[in-house]
Amino acid sequence: MDCIFCKIIEGEIPSYTVYEDEIVKVFLDVNPDSNGHLLIIPKKHILDINEMDANTWTHMLEITKKMRKLLETKLQIDGLTLIQNNGMIQEVKHFHLHLKPFYRDPQTILPVEDIYEKITH
């Protein structure tokens, strides 16, 4: 399989992982739209919303809540947008949920390494 997210899960491609368990992996988007832009992906290859099972989806939503608290605490975000694409607009054909932080004041996009340090320490 030539799926970039499966390769990240297997450790073939490095990632800035901020959370991982037996069901999901959460890591920083390397091309962020805002500081702290996270991706939550199931470890099982699931193409899109049509293939998503209820248990995995429920777990992903619980982890989303935890990640929101982490972003609020570490980066002082003012809001959070959740995005999940399907079909032609789904760039990577592996189900994933974007968590895009919102900041009241305009932010300069910092290097991912710097945001990783802020979130993990």
Q: Is the separation of the CB atoms in 71 and 99 below 8 Å?
A: yes
3-state DSSP of 13-47: CCCCEEEECCCEEEEECCCCCCCCCEEEEECCCCC
Contact 13, 6 (CB under 8 A): no
Tell me, yes or no, if 96 is annotated catalytic.
yes
Type of residue numbered 79: G
What residue type is assigned to position 98 of the chain?
A: H
- Distance CA(8)–CA(100), nearest Å, equals 20
Of these residues, 37, 59, 94, 96, which one is catalytic? 96
Task: Give catalytic residues, as residue numbers.
Answer: 96
